[in-house]
């Protein structure tokens, strides 16, 4: 009997049977089934839009399924709300944490389930229980510390402690490592092992495939709202996993390209802003993809925000094609044909409540309007061209941007900057939270832009991505450039990490 058959025939902790869910114009889930055993980590994988988030929202009570069944310990259960899901022992930690920044760690853990005595919140008891939960996770966090003062990793621990306070037996982690450093990810793996030993079943969603082989026991792959395969982790290779997800053979993870690098176009000299950016100088040549990497907090994002005029620099020059630019704000940078795809597309790159058409138009209103009125026909026609060329999956142009998958949201951001015909394009973590198929498409697009002589700066925490795409790499540490790698044929991850901790 195979391991998968054993899990299914044993009394599983969780079963989701033949779940279907339809939204207007979209079949999000079609007879999807999932099984999770006690003490198991199940990787739920698939491209953006495959149905992973919808399935977990059904489990979490945010969506009602059209059909299907949910069983816990073999008992059928109807979940009509998030509260009912929590009561059933299910906790979901979303990529965007559900914490109140102005409240303490303890307050956030017990929010909605406050401990009271005689009508008053028992603060002392909450602090004590919060400290016990942190001790259980082997992490030292002051229960009285405001969540806004905690690191991303510490906030994630608060979310996990919150789940444990609810006596959760099923824990869903959605992109748990997206904003963590390498050391923090290793600590996350240790916590997952501890939770497994306590019999907690974990559904682990991630686009970082290397994590699947380190943290998970079994994989379940969705594609276009359907189950397409289940395997034990030790039965599949990285290449095989990618092919299961995209539904086709992907010969190379990174597209081949011939570099035709010209003269320097963008020059940055002595850029400075406090301790975040300290005397940073570099140049980007025509047709070059310049990789920029380092540990979280190294100053990469802070540097490109100065180039884009999003933050005020204390010193330094920015020169494009021999002309010094006076960038007081992003509007000046846009006028100089510099575009920035921000690290956080949801907060800084898009207006989620607006339609995809409106988001495309935002930085392009100068040529899409006349006499104060937007030419909506021109807007639709222009956007339609990018929908086709970038393969953006939308039912119509009035679709609210918040309803799109991460990959399609990123393509909307790309489309609006491509429409401006920018000469300098800065990609800050361009594939964070994006599936391998959409990643490949973005890589091809970056290659095409470089072939046209554009200057590309790419920030990435994924070292295979940096090594696979860059013509040259700059490594940063504590606001300074600590090294440059130009011999890409012999460059290694170890070489990058050595420079990143100097």
Domain ranges in the chain are 3-89+169-246, 105-167, 264-500
Question: Which CATH number is associated with domain 264-500?
Answer: 3.40.50.300
Confidence band for 320, pLDDT divided at 50, 70 and 90: very high
How many whole angstroms separate alpha carbon 498 and alpha carbon 186? 18
The whole-chain average pLDDT of the chain stands at: 88
Question: Which CATH number is associated with domain 3-89+169-246?
Answer: 3.40.50.300
DSSP 8-state secondary structure symbol assigned to residue 348: I
Percent of the chain surpassing pLDDT 70: 95
**Per-residue pLDDT tens for 273-315?**
999 999 999 999 999 999 999 877 789 999 999 999 999 999 9
> Would the CATH topology of 3-89+169-246 be identical to that of 264-500?
yes
Tokens of 67: 């059909």
The answer to whether 49 and 405 are in contact (CB under 8 A) is: yes
- pLDDT surpasses 80 at 455: yes
How many whole angstroms separate alpha carbon 408 and alpha carbon 400? 12
| The pLDDT of residue 289 | 97
- Give the per-residue SS3 of 9-61: HCCCCEEEEEEEEEECCEEEEEEEEEEECCCCEEEEECCCCCCHHHHHHHHCC
**Per-residue pLDDT tens for 384-438?**
988 888 888 888 899 999 888 777 888 898 889 888 889 999 999 888 777 777 7
| The pLDDT of residue 222 | 93
- Give the per-residue SS3 of 138-193: CCCCCCCCEHHHCCHHHHHHHHHHHHHHCCCCEEEEECCCCCCCHHHHHHHHHHHH
- pLDDT surpasses 60 at 317: yes
How many whole angstroms separate alpha carbon 152 and alpha carbon 126? 22
- pLDDT surpasses 50 at 8: no
Tokens of 205: 């969603």
Instruction: Spell 460-473 as b/e; 16+ CB within 10 A means b.
Output: bbbbebbbbbbbbb
| The pLDDT of residue 246 | 78
Q: Which residue has the tokens 């921000």?
A: 342
- pLDDT surpasses 90 at 475: yes
How many whole angstroms separate alpha carbon 502 and alpha carbon 256? 32
Q: Report which of 477, 474, 473 is spatially closest to residue 501, judged by C-alpha positions.
A: 477
- pLDDT surpasses 60 at 236: yes
């Amino acid at each position: 009997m195979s391991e998968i058959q054993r899990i299914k025939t044993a009394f599983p902790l969780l079963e989701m049977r033949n779940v279907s869910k339809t939204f207007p114009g979209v079949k999000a889930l079609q007879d999807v089934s999932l099984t999770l055993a006690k003490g198991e980590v199940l990787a739920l994988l698939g491209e953006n839009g495959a149905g992973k988030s919808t399935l977990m929202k059904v489990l979490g009570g945010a969506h009602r399924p059209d059909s299907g069944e949910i069983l816990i310990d073999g008992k059928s259960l109807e979940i009509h709300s998030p509260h009912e899901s929590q009561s059933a022992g299910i906790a979901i930690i979303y990529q965007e944490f559900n914490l109140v920044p102005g409240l303490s760690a303890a307050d956030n853990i017990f929010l909605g389930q406050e401990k009271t005595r005689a009508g008053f919140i028992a603060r002392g008891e909450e602090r004590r229980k919060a400290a016990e939960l942190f001790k259980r996770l082997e992490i030292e966090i002051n229960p009285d510390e405001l969540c806004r003062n905690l690191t991303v990793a510490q906030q994630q621990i608060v979310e996990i402690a919150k789940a444990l306070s609810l006596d959760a037996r099923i824990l869903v982690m959605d992109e748990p490592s997206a904003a963590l450093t390498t050391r923090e990810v290793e600590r996350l793996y240790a916590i997952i092992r501890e939770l497994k030993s306590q019999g907690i079943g974990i559904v682990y969603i991630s686009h970082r495939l290397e994590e699947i082989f380190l943290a998970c026991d079994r994989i379940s792959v969705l594609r276009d709202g359907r189950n397409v395969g289940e395997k034990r982790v030790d039965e599949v290779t990285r290449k095989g996993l990618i092919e299961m997800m995209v539904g086709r053979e992907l010969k190379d993870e990174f597209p081949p390209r011939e570099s035709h690098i010209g003269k320097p176009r963008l020059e940055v000299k002595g850029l400075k802003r406090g301790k975040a950016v300290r005397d940073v100088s570099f140049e980007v040549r025509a047709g070059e993809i310049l990789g920029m990497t380092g540990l979280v907090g190294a100053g990469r994002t802070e540097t490109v925000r100065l180039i884009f005029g999003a933050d005020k620099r204390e010193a330094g020059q920015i020169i494009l094609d021999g002309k010094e630019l006076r960038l007081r704000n992003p509007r000046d940078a846009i006028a100089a044909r510099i575009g920035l795809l921000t690290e956080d597309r949801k907060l800084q790159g898009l207006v989620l409540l607006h339609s995809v058409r409106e988001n495309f138009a935002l930085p392009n209103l100068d040529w899409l309007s006349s006499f104060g009125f937007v030419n909506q026909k021109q807007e639709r026609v222009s956007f339609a061209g990018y929908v086709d060329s970038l393969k953006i999956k939308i039912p119509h142009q009035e679709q609210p941007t918040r309803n799109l998958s991460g990959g399609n949201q990123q393509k909307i951001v790309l489309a609006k900057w491509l429409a401006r015909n920018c000469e300098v394009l800065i990609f800050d973590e361009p594939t964070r939270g994006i599936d391998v198929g959409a990643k490949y498409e973005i890589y091809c697009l970056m290659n095409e832009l470089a072939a046209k002589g554009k200057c590309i700066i790419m920030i990435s925490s994924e070292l295979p991505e940096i090594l696979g795409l860059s013509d040259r790499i700059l490594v940063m540490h504590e606001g300074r450039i600590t090294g440059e790698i130009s011999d890409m044929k012999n460059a290694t991850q170890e070489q990058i990490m050595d420079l990143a901790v100097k």
